[in-house]
Structure 1
Amino acid sequence: MSEIPASIPAVDPALEKTRKYLPWVVAVALFMQQLDGTIVNTAVPTMAESLKVASLSLKSVLTSYTIAIAVLIPLSGWLADRFGTKRVFGFAVAIFTIGSLACGLSLNLPMLVASRVLQGIGAAFMMPVGRIALLRTFPKSGILRAMNFVIIPALLGPLLGPLMGGLIVHWLPWRMIFLINIPIGILGLWLVKKHMPDHKGETLDPLDTRGFLLFGSGVALLSWVLEIFGEHRMDILGVSILAAISLLLIGAYFWHAKRFPQPLLPVDLLRIRTFRVSVVGGFVTRLGISGMPFLLPLLYQLGMKFTPWQAGLLVMPQALAAIGMKLLVQRILGTFGHRQVLVYNTILIGLMIAAFSRVGPGTPVWVILIFSAIQGTVSALQFTAMNSLAYADTSDAEASDASTIASTAQQLSISFGIAFASLVTAWFLGGIDRSDSETLVPALHKAYLLLGVVSIASSATFLTLKRGDGANVSGHGRATPATEGE
């Protein structure tokens, strides 16, 4: 695989060597990040027992990580232009590795959450800066091959993560799911030192500090409100006031972004219909999808008494099916178009999420595996369709900003989706012992039904698409003007 990028013509031996090894540098960091993002889910019940907290309370371990990424991703491009890709990427890998060590040494839930935030800080800069380095090192003719090489770890992480997490917590202390990142991080740092180019921006726009403070504080406060809501830490009036403040901060950012010359997130891109539908529709759809990787291990381990490694095996078909769908998605989109695919596939996703309400003690394993494979298939089609739609009508000059907004929205929707799934499950439990399978399984079943209904309802957001929307990337039909007023 290492010979793929090397076959691209280089101007001189030094550049040829950089092009040969740079995809490996980015791939190692991406593998570490993707593995960590999926390995934790299977370990949640074991971690909760060790830390003496309810399993649903560990949602903060997952959401704190994704929120840190969402808040800081918009800074990645500016920092890379200011300090150089080599320094920022090396910093990201080092911070992620130190955060992994801190997670493994954590003695309680607050320490673990703080350590996950540290990991999120590193993860927020790794892939965006790695992508910038690739774009500035390879000619356009070689970008696709280099990115295809790098994307392999993104597919292997979700495939190996759940099973590895289950095996580790079954045979070893759960802390090893984080400590396993240490040697990978050290390898990554060595590769950065040897082969990461140091690209800097030719011109540097001023940092939108006010926008960052408004957006970051608003998102962080709203996330914290979702964390405490329903857990009786604060009365409903206090929660409502904090929620209102967080929404005002986010609204103030939108007002600011329309007036600042170089805003942190240029929201004026939302005028493009295909981009707006991709971001907004994708956000709502992911609220239903994102909670499933958190809730399914609870059903399998606490409700159905499977071991952690068995639970990991039960979710592996999702990743395998997703890899298979990658081979078919272009043909499907070309045949049916983005509008039809997104409307009907979103409904299928909701039905599949709701179908897990029929899974419980006594359900044949083969049924669970089929459900898991179908969910992986429709989810992969959905994500690819939404992601490709986001860039269908954006210009080359807008691509970087569009990528930043889309990535930020995706991370926020994952975090809010986990919090929402945990919240509705806790609501259906009604304060009853959360480790009792006789009460947990019915509550999870009701949560799956509600998440399925939310996903089905989100299909309405894609009805605003026109028949030719996305044709620039799918080849289906004829493109129509995507900007309102055209």
Structure 2
Amino acid sequence: MLSLPMPSPHVSQPSPEAPPASHARKGGPRRQPGYRAVALIVASAMFMEQLDATVLATALPAMARDFGVTAPHMSIALTSYLLSLAVFIPASGWAADRFGSRTVFRLAIAVFTIGSLLCAQSQSLAFLVFARLLQGMGGAMMIPVGRLVLLRSTTKADLVSAMSWLLVPAMIGPMVGPPLGGFLVTFLDWRWIFYINLPIGVLGLVLVSIFIADSRAEKPDRFDGLGLVLSGASLGGLLFAFELSSRGEGDARITFGLMVMGVLSGLAYLRHARKLSAAGGHPILDLSLMNIETFRLSVIAGNITRITQGAQPFLIPLMLQLGFGMTAAEAGMISLSTAVGSLLMKGVAPKVLRRYGFRNTLLVNGIICTGTYAVCALMRPDWPHWSIYVLLTAAGFFMSLQFTAYNTVAYDEVPAARMSAAASFYSTFQQLMLSMGICVAGFALATSMAANGRSVAGLADFSVAFVTVTTIAMAATFWNARLPHDAGADISGHRRRRSLAAAVNEATDAPD
């Protein structure tokens, strides 16, 4: 029988039965749900956001015809959403502390759902951009506040299992989006890609109201308005630049200017955050969280690995269509095998982490999951379809296990009073690095095409792109190895095995 280790004295431990002392519950749920129910409620909102982020791309040509504009002009429908994410994600933690996590989460779902309805009713590109900005405001709050709701509702013993359930929509959404979007546009109308959010949103509002407790900080920090402007300008500029460069659209000078704006605004934010912290204030993105070892290593290693996670939903369907000659529907069905792998993982992660611990799992599984995606560079049209299914299912399984571990161990040593700041910080850089993955993949693809004098991407170009993103992600191994052997032991239930001699010495040295 494996016994759980006692919590380390330097780690802030929330009570399994009650919310942290620094947070007051202003309204309890009508029913007390298990952590799986809370995880699935939060996951439904995240699935809606993740699905919407990818389903729109397939509908842009049809929308352009209806609005009387060219398809490249429709890229603003994507970038306007990214702009809202960049500006409002950093404010999510403060909002949850000030107004309550249930209140903000419920409002985020409502705003996203209303934004979806307005998108479906759009008669012009200008109105669509307004609706997408509104939708992005809701989406920016849903991801970090949803994660915060789960963290505050789950004991450490159940956190691994809860996170594995939560991660499923993040893996499925990007894969389901393109084939679903193609189906809706082909057989119904592009407006249905937004209408499908309405029943999910309404159901989410009902379930959150019934099952999720409200908690907020007793003394919320003062709002950092200047930090919001600087971080928004930095993240917005970088995300716009990544988006434009990955699609090969727009003037290169504009892309470069956005990149410079993002970097300079980021440097200005760093200076502002240091001054505010020195004066006893709380910057909207709390950089002092990086002093917490497990949080810092999870952010760095996880973000490096997200280069591959962000790139694969972009590369795989494109490779299957352009390189293998498949239809969009065929490519979409094969791409879904990564989602199958993610689903298979959810019951396995707690057992793996209990047996091997976070450090060993992240170290070994990180090499396996990145290497599995690297094998995709070798895929060719003469491969049997079953072998591609097996490869992508395995890739989805191991990648999902990796991010279940990252997303859980990150909060191991974070004090309860700083959970809100940690959730918004983590989500901000998660969004940035997923976009960076698309940018790196698109840049590698375009560079290989230019070097070989091709106007259409070939199989060799896709191979170069896969090798590029997985080589970068493999660098996370260095940071995974720096995790302490007992990192997250009170979450996973893992105890490092001792030799018999060490056990005997310990017993001999023990006082009578």
Tell me whether the two structures share a fold, i.e. TM-score over 0.5.
yes
Specify the alignment match of 2:390 in structure 1.
370
Specify the alignment match of 1:31 in structure 2.
44
Aligned residues: 463
Moved more, 141-150 or 447-456: 141-150
* Equivalent runs, 1:325-474 vs 2, <5 Å: 325-430=345-450, 436=456, 439-474=457-492
Three-state SS of the structure 2 residue aligned to 1:430 is helix
Give the aligned residue type for 2:464: K
1:343–1:278 Cα change, 3 Å: same
* Equivalent runs, 1:235-250 vs 2, <5 Å: 235=252, 239-240=255-256, 242-250=258-266
Q: CA deviation at 1:270?
A: 0.8
Q: CA deviation at 1:144?
A: 6.7
CA distance in 1, matches of 2:168, 2:118: 24
Q: Pick from 241, 244, 264: which aligns with 1:225?
A: 241
Moved more, 449-458 or 187-196: 187-196
Specify the alignment match of 2:140 in structure 1.
124
Contact 1:274 1:392 in 2 (8 A): yes
Moved more, 317-326 or 164-173: 164-173
Contact 2:159 2:491 in 1 (8 A): no
Q: Tell me if 1:92 matches 2:108.
A: yes
1:301–1:101 Cα change, 3 Å: farther
Q: CA deviation at 1:72?
A: 1.8
Moved more, 112-121 or 202-211: 112-121
CA distance in 2, matches of 1:266, 1:458: 23
Q: Which runs of 5+ in 1 are unaligned?
A: 1-7, 479-486
Q: CA deviation at 1:50?
A: 6.2
CA distance in 2, matches of 1:26, 1:389: 17
Three-state SS of the structure 2 residue aligned to 1:258 is helix
Q: Pick from 302, 316, 322: which aligns with 2:336?
A: 316
CA distance in 2, matches of 1:233, 1:92: 32
1:99–1:21 Cα change, 3 Å: farther
CA distance in 2, matches of 1:420, 1:109: 29
1:411–1:263 Cα change, 3 Å: same
Contact 1:349 1:452 in 2 (8 A): no
1:146–1:290 Cα change, 3 Å: closer
Q: Tell me if 1:268 matches 2:322.
A: no
Contact 1:42 1:297 in 2 (8 A): no
Q: CA deviation at 1:411?
A: 1.6
Contact 2:163 2:407 in 1 (8 A): no
TM-score by length of 1: 0.79
1:278–1:300 Cα change, 3 Å: same
Q: CA deviation at 1:370?
A: 0.8
Moved more, 45-54 or 421-430: 45-54
CA distance in 1, matches of 2:450, 2:120: 32
Give the aligned residue type for 1:425: L
Specify the alignment match of 1:5 in structure 2.
none
Q: CA deviation at 1:173?
A: 2.9
Contact 1:27 1:153 in 2 (8 A): no
Give the aligned residue type for 1:448: F
Q: CA deviation at 1:449?
A: 1.9
Give the aligned residue type for 2:219: T
Specify the alignment match of 2:4 in structure 1.
none
Q: CA deviation at 1:290?
A: 0.9
What do residues 160-208 of structure 1 show as CA deviations (whole Å, max 9, x unaligned)? 6565445434433343222211233344456667777665543232101
Specify the alignment match of 1:68 in structure 2.
84
Q: Which runs of 5+ in 2 are unaligned?
A: 1-16, 19-26, 498-512
Contact 2:50 2:170 in 1 (8 A): no
Contact 2:157 2:490 in 1 (8 A): no
Contact 2:62 2:190 in 1 (8 A): no
CA distance in 1, matches of 2:392, 2:487: 30
Specify the alignment match of 1:278 in structure 2.
298
Contact 2:307 2:433 in 1 (8 A): yes
CA distance in 2, matches of 1:65, 1:398: 28
CA distance in 1, matches of 2:317, 2:154: 44
Specify the alignment match of 1:482 in structure 2.
none
CA distance in 2, matches of 1:50, 1:433: 29
What do residues 344-386 of structure 1 show as CA deviations (whole Å, max 9, x unaligned)? 3333233222222222433321111011111111101210121
TM-score by length of 2: 0.75
Moved more, 254-263 or 211-220: 254-263
